Amino acid sequence: MARGVIKRRLHRKIDGGLILQLTIHAFCAPESFPAFDTSSVLWGGIKYGSVVKNIVKPWRLESVTIKAEGIVDSIQFSYIDQDGVRRTETRLGEGGGDGSTNTINLAPKEYVKELSGSYTMWADFSQIVLTSLKLV
């Protein structure tokens, strides 16, 4: 079953009618998710880049914890693996400073569809840092 919202707006009047703009936002929950390989993930900037290994294949993301103070210092994920075991990964990033820590908990029927953000070079140009992070 799908659910969604359709927004209609007048785009232009023409001889003999109207041109309407339709914006459709729909959600259709899948019954299951395909497995994908997450045995190693690259994390970090130019200076501190490293490979995180042995991540168990996830089934469902439960929470994302972000520590930030002007930039994203660290990020940590908790998830349910394909065997139904809840796992929390090692914090990714330096995590220094006195920044605030915020945890986003996902309800059982909430899913992250998109992850985006912005980055810049750190003041001494030794590494790339995240300046924003957006989960949709």
5, part of any domain? no
100, part of any domain? yes
Share of the chain above pLDDT 70, in %: 70
Rounded distance between C-alpha atoms, residue 66 and residue 91, angstroms: 9
CATH number of domain containing 89: 2.100.10.30
105, part of any domain? yes
User: What pLDDT is stored for residue 2 in this prediction?
Assistant: 56
58, part of any domain? yes
Name the burial class of residue 80, with classes exposed (0-12), middle (13-18) and buried (19+) by CB atoms within 10 angstroms of its CB.
middle
Number of domains in the chain: 1
- The per-residue pLDDT for range 57-110, each reduced to its tens digit, is 778 889 988 888 877 788 888 988 888 889 888 777 765 667 788 888 988 888
- Domain coverage including residue 70: 40-135
118, part of any domain? yes
- The per-residue pLDDT for range 28-51, each reduced to its tens digit, is 665 555 554 555 454 554 444 455
Reported confidence tier of residue 132, pLDDT bands at 50, 70, 90:
confident
49, part of any domain? yes
Mean pLDDT, residues 11-39: 67
User: What pLDDT is stored for residue 57 in this prediction?
Assistant: 77
User: What pLDDT is stored for residue 111 in this prediction?
Assistant: 82
- The per-residue pLDDT for range 71-82, each reduced to its tens digit, is 778 888 898 888
Rounded distance between C-alpha atoms, residue 17 and residue 49, angstroms: 58
Q: 128 and 45 in contact (C-beta within 8 Å)? A: yes
